[in-house]
């Protein structure tokens, strides 16, 4: 099947306004995965308990229940847990509880694979550290070095969040000091360690930290070949793996596919979905930066105010778009896999895989092919996890336009024991939309 890289133009006269019905009245937070124990059991410092109440966290999730006590005991952790179930709060709360602030010393570092995720983790620290005298900051590539160097000269943040490239640059220039690091966190650790450049950068940073520190790593996917690398960076870690992959399926998430044998059918179908699906916010994933821009342009012409984001954009534009979408000023976002992992925007209740994740280049060898497909299957899981955060409802729709697409989707079904059916003519909005989060 010819599978063109180019997006087909589509214009339709009779587009309707986006359906914006409020529907369904059940909030299915509280299903399995959220623990009945209380945050009080962790005996966190009062400032944190207050913040937990303020932010409406009622019960710890399963991953929080498993990991927070171990983290507070100083144990290294390698943790696989499903998407959107509160992994960030594990390290945010634990570090904020344990940290004895030493002014002008960097004591904790959180490494993320994208700048957006760094900002998100930074914001999560800030919102829980409101009443604590701790300096939290992020340092990202794409921003002027000289400004960052000046800032670091004045003050080293107690908690630093960033992507590995800039962190290493700052360390190599001796602007940043890691000799007092007590906590080293890798978020989406498999993604970071699978990438040879990022892995080398992390190792470079790691070497500059004291031997005696606590290391914690998290991801929803922890492939077997990455686990030994994780272990090398830790000491006697508590390891949590979800070996029954079915347990990674998000129960609040409806998953469907649409067969579109020709690439050019995709735009018409997408517009049809945007007209008829009751979404709060939607992320549409495409396989290349050019396609992200082209598709957003088409949707904007067709009266769907749409933003796009990808890794080749200027840093300032990227952050602006991310914030705009996060603050609900745009409801439709077209993205490459940049937004595919970790990003937590709780009004996103629909994800569309306009393109499935591209397969890594592979030869004819069976093991190479398998590895390429496995990565795409992992990425599918991360992408659809952008909807259905913390046990809420969501809908994921995947366009299938090539034999490879069909193979990926079949592997998703096998691996996660999930039955992905063809999208019916209509879907009851109460099955994928929570009233509580739909109301603005
Ligand atoms: P994460 O998996 O860390 O991205 O978290 C997903 C979302 O769940 C974020 O919006 C968190 O603020 C939220 N969250 C995390 N833990 C809890 C909790 N115990 N109760 C309610 N919401 C939570």
35 C-beta closer than 6 A to ligand 1: no
| CA 225 to ligand 1 center in whole angstroms | 28
385 C-beta closer than 6 A to ligand 1: no
Q: Residue 159 has what DSSP assignment?
A: E
| pLDDT for 36 | 60
Q: What is the atom index within ligand 1 of the atom nearest the CA of 39? A: 19
| pLDDT for 144 | 92
Hey, whose CA ends up nearest to atom 4 of ligand 1? 84
- The DSSP result for 186-226, as a single string, is EETHHHHHHSHHHHHHHHHHHHTS-SS-EEEEEES---TTT
89 C-beta closer than 6 A to ligand 1: yes
Query: Identical fold at 39-241 and 246-431?
Result: yes
| CA 259 to ligand 1 center in whole angstroms | 34
Residue 322 phi/psi, 5-degree rounding, is: -60, -45
Q: What is the atom index within ligand 1 of the atom nearest the CA of 56? A: 21
Residue 426: burial class (beta carbons within 10 Å; 0-12, 13-18, 19+):
exposed
| CA 391 to ligand 1 center in whole angstroms | 9
88 C-beta closer than 6 A to ligand 1: yes
| CA 252 to ligand 1 center in whole angstroms | 15
In sequence order, the 6+-apart residues with CB closer than 8 A to the CB of 149 are 170, 173, 175
| pLDDT for 423 | 97
114 C-beta closer than 6 A to ligand 1: no
Contact 191, 217 (CB under 8 A): no
What the block records as the tokens of 250 is 């998000």
340 C-beta closer than 6 A to ligand 1: no
| Of 29, 31, 88, 121, best ligand 1 pocket probe by most atoms within 8 Å of the beta carbon | 88
| Of 44, 121, 161, 390, best ligand 1 pocket probe by most atoms within 8 Å of the beta carbon | 390
Q: Which of 307, 254, 251 is nearest to 116 (CA)?
A: 307
Hey, whose CA ends up nearest to atom 13 of ligand 1? 86
Q: Residue 74 has what DSSP assignment?
A: T
Distance linking the first and last C-alpha atoms of the chain? 44
Classify 306 as helix, strand or coil: strand
> Cβ of 6: how many Cβ atoms within 10 Å?
10
CATH 3.40.630.30 describes domain 246-431: no
Hey, whose CA ends up nearest to atom 12 of ligand 1? 86
What the block records as the tokens of 403 is 């034999």
| Of 85, 86, 119, 340, best ligand 1 pocket probe by most atoms within 8 Å of the beta carbon | 86
Contact 237, 73 (CB under 8 A): no
How far is residue 156's CA from residue 109's CA, in Å, rounded to a whole number?
12
Q: Which of 126, 129, 128 is nearest to 138 (CA)?
A: 126
| CA 86 to ligand 1 center in whole angstroms | 4
Classify 268 as helix, strand or coil: helix
Q: What is the atom index within ligand 1 of the atom nearest the CA of 57? A: 20
Q: Which of 278, 416, 409, 420 is nearest to 349 (CA)?
A: 278
291 C-beta closer than 6 A to ligand 1: no
167, 382, 356, 315 alpha-carbon torsion, rounded to 10°? -30
How far is residue 300's CA from residue 328's CA, in Å, rounded to a whole number?
17
344 C-beta closer than 6 A to ligand 1: yes
E-assigned strand segments in 369-439: 394-400, 421-422
| CA 132 to ligand 1 center in whole angstroms | 20
| Of 36, 40, 55, 89, best ligand 1 pocket probe by most atoms within 8 Å of the beta carbon | 89
Mean pLDDT per 10-residue run, the chain (440 residues)? 42 30 29 66 96 94 95 97 92 98 97 95 97 97 94 97 97 98 97 96 97 97 95 96 84 94 94 96 97 97 94 92 95 96 93 94 83 94 92 94 96 93 93 66
61 C-beta closer than 6 A to ligand 1: yes
Contact 305, 331 (CB under 8 A): yes
> Cβ of 204: how many Cβ atoms within 10 Å?
15
Hey, whose CA ends up nearest to atom 14 of ligand 1? 86
| pLDDT for 16 | 30
Strands 159-162 and 108-111 turn out to be parallel
Whether the model pTM is above 0.95: no
CATH 3.30.450.20 describes domain 39-241: no
Classify 387 as helix, strand or coil: coil
393 C-beta closer than 6 A to ligand 1: no
> Cβ of 254: how many Cβ atoms within 10 Å?
21
87 C-beta closer than 6 A to ligand 1: yes
Sketch the domain layout of the chain as residue ranges.
39-241, 246-431
How far is residue 359's CA from residue 411's CA, in Å, rounded to a whole number?
13
Q: Residue 249 has what DSSP assignment?
A: S
Question: What interhelical angle do 164-172 and 196-207 show, nearest 10?
Answer: 40
116 C-beta closer than 6 A to ligand 1: no
| pLDDT for 32 | 41
| pLDDT for 82 | 86
């Amino acid at each position: 099947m010819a599978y063109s890289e180019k997006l087909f133009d589509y214009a339709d006269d009779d587009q309707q306004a986006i359906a914006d019905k409020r529907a369904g009245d059940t909030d299915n937070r509280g299903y399995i995965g959220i623990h009945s124990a209380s945050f009080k059991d962790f005996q966190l410092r009062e400032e944190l308990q207050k913040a937990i109440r303020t932010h409406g966290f009622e019960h710890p999730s399963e991953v929080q229940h498993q990991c927070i006590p171990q983290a507070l005991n100083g144990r290294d952790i390698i943790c696989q847990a499903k998407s959107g179930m509160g992994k960030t709060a594990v390290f945010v709360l634990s570090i904020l509880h344990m940290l004895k602030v030493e002014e002008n010393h960097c004591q904790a570092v959180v490494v993320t694979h994208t700048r957006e995720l760094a900002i998100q983790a930074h914001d999560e620290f800030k919102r829980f550290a409101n009443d604590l005298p701790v300096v939290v900051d992020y340092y990202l590539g794409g921003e002027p070095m000289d400004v960052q160097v000046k800032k670091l000269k004045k003050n080293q943040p107690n908690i630093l969040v960033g992507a590995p490239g800039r962190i290493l640059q700052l360390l190599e220039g001796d602007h940043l000091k890691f000799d007092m690091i007590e906590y080293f966190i890798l978020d989406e650790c498999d993604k970071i360690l699978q990438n040879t450049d990022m892995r080398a950068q992390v190792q470079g940073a790691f070497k500059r930290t004291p031997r005696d520190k606590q290391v914690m790593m998290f991801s929803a996917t922890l492939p077997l070949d990455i686990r030994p690398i994780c272990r090398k960076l830790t000491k006697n870690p508590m390891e949590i793996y979800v070996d029954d992959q079915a347990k990674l399926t998000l129960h609040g998430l409806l998953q469907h596919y649409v067969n579109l044998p020709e690439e050019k059918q995709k735009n018409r179908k997408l517009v049809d979905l945007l007209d008829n699906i009751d979404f709060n916010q939607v992320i549409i994933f495409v396989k290349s930066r050019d396609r992200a821009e082209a598709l957003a342009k088409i949707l904007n012409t067709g009266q769907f105010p749409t933003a796009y984001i990808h890794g080749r954009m200027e840093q300032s534009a990227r952050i602006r778009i991310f914030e705009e979408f996060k603050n609900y000023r745009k409801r439709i976002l077209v993205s490459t896999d940049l937004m595919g992992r970790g990003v937590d925007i709780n009004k996103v209740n629909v994800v569309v895989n306009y393109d499935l994740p591209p397969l890594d280049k592979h030869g004819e060898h069976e093991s190479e092919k398998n590895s390429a497909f496995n990565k795409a299957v992992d990425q599918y899981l991360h992408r659809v996890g952008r909807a259905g955060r913390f046990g809420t409802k969501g809908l994921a729709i995947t366009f299938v336009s090539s034999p490879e697409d069909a193979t990926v989707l079949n592997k998703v079904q096998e691996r996660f024991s999930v039955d992905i059916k063809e999208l019916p003519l209509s879907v009851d909005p109460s099955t994928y939309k929570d009233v509580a989060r739909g109301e603005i």
